[in-house]
């Protein structure tokens, strides 16, 4: 497989190592200082592009790959309000596009357990639910895409919860949104974002009743697991047409 890496930051560098380990060739590396090289001529050398950049640049980068006819795997978070537009463009161009808010196998297992547990809690009732995510200080978006996916999973299985809300009592969120008065938004799942050191990612879903606390937690020990998932997604996407997610890969 010949790969292009778009975004040569923490993830791009880890992906480069794993591509080499798995016998693939990196034929193009595009970062902010050579962003003009992201064009059809340069992309034509690659079978697939792996895009891990910033919330402000991901949409255009993926769009350029799809318009150039290059299969693209993206994991950039914080921009996905426009994801459906790119999925439509991919289908229109008969291209190939894989997106996941989290490429860790363990997190994707957590997504499934999360939905199962939400369905069970929905049946028994009596629990309040909240989500906490902790990431490194450089992370640009909050809440994390993974926390939002967890919230959406609970919402899909629940008759009680109608949406999610940022917990403005977390220091990083102060000022972004006003703290919701507890009584005013009882049907919203609260998501608390914390930023600490170099933490690659910790997600905790907490159910609390009057009598007990039940928690699901996933901790990423090394960023390598995320990069490995993205490279496996690229291998899966090569030669295919269409829009794919981790659910397709895990089947």
Ligand X SMILES: NC(=O)c1ccc[n+]([C@@H]2O[C@H](COP(=O)([O-])OP(=O)(O)OC[C@H]3O[C@@H](n4cnc5c(N)ncnc54)[C@H](O)[C@@H]3O)[C@@H](O)[C@H]2O)c1
- Show which residues are catalytic: 135, 139
218: β partners: 203
Which residues make beta-bridge pairs with 133? 193, 203
Does position 10 interact with ligand X (CB under 6 A)? The reply is: yes
Tokens of 139: 């992370």
Position among 16, 47, 78, 96 found at the interface with ligand X (CB under 6 A): 78
Nearest CB to ligand X, comparing residues 36 and 159: 36
Question: Does 101 contact ligand X by CB under 6 A?
Answer: yes
Q: What CA–CA distance (Å, rounded) separates 138 from 148?
A: 19
Dihedral sign for Cα 57, 62, 64, 70, please.
positive
What distance lies between CA 73 and its chain's CA centroid?
12
Q: Say how far apart CA 232 and CA 209 lie, in whole Å.
A: 40
Number of residues that bind ligand X (CB under 6 A): 27
Considering the complex, state which of residue 138 and residue 184 has its C-beta at the smaller distance from ligand X.
138
Interacting stretch for ligand X, rule CB under 6 A, among 6-14, 156-164, 184-192, 231-239? 6-14
* Closest distance of CB 121 from ligand X, Å: 27
Per-residue x/- mask for ligand X, residues 212 to 231, rule CB under 6 A? --------------x-----
Is position 148 an interface residue for ligand X (rule: CB under 6 A)?
Answer: no
Q: Which of 30, 50, 131, 170 binds ligand X (CB under 6 A)?
A: 30
142 binds ligand X (CB under 6 A): no
Q: Where are the alpha helices (H) located in 68-176, listed in sequence order? A: 83-92, 105-124, 145-157
Task: Give backbone dihedrals phi and psi of 205, rounded to 5 degrees, phi first.
Answer: -105, 125
Contacts 24+ apart (CB under 8 A), 92-95: 93/66, 93/67, 93/69, 94/241, 95/65, 95/66, 95/69, 95/70, 95/71, 95/241
Write each residue from 151 to 190 as x if it is in contact with ligand X (CB under 6 A), else as -, in one continuous string: ----------------------------------------
The sign of the CA dihedral 78, 80, 82, 88 is positive
Q: Which residue is nearest to ligand X (CB)?
A: 9
H-run or E-run covering 192? strand 188-195
Q: Pick one of 100, 129, 131, 237: the residue that binds ligand X (CB under 6 A).
A: 100
The contact mask relative to ligand X for 32-71 (x = CB under 6 A, - = no) is: x--x----------------xxx--x---x----------
Given candidates 8, 59, 97, 164, which one binds ligand X under the rule CB under 6 A? 8
What does the block give as tokens for 215?
A: 């928690």
Distance, CA of 144 to CA of 148 (rounded, Å): 6
**3 state SS for 213-237:** EEEEEEECCCCHHHHHHHHHHHHHH
Q: Which is nearer to ligand X, 121 or 228 (CB)?
A: 228
If binding is defined by CB under 6 A, does position 245 make contact with ligand X? Answer: no
The residues of the shown chain that bind ligand X, judged by CB under 6 A, are: 6-12, 30-32, 35, 52-54, 57, 61, 75-78, 100-103, 138-139, 226
């Amino acid at each position: 497989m010949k790969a292009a890496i778009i975004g040569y930051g923490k993830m791009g560098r880890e992906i480069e190592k794993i591509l080499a380990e798995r016998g693939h060739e990196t034929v193009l590396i595009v970062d902010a200082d050579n962003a003009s090289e992201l064009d059809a001529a340069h992309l034509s050398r690659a079978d697939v592009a792996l895009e891990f950049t910033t919330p402000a640049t991901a949409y255009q980068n993926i769009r350029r790959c799809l318009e150039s006819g290059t299969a693209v795997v993206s994991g950039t978070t914080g921009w996905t309000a426009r994801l459906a537009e790119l999925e439509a463009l991919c289908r229109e161009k008969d291209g190939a596009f894989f997106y996941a808010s989290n490429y860790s196998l363990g997190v994707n297992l957590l997504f499934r357990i999360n939905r199962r547990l939400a369905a069970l809690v929905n049946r028994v009732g009596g629990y309040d639910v909240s989500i906490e995510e902790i990431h490194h200080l450089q992370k640009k978006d909050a809440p994390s895409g993974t926390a939002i996916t967890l919230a959406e999973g609970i919402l899909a299985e629940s008759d009680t919860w109608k949406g999610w809300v940022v917990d403005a009592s977390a220091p990083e969120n102060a000022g972004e949104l006003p703290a919701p008065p507890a009584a005013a938004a009882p049907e919203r799942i609260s998501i608390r974002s914390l930023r600490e050191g170099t933490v690659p990612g910790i997600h905790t879903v907490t159910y609390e009743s009057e009598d007990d606390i039940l928690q699901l937690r996933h901790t990423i020990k090394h960023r390598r697991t995320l990069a490995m998932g993205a490279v496996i997604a690229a291998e899966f996407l090569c030669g295919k047409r269409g829009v794919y997610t981790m659910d397709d890969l895990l089947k």
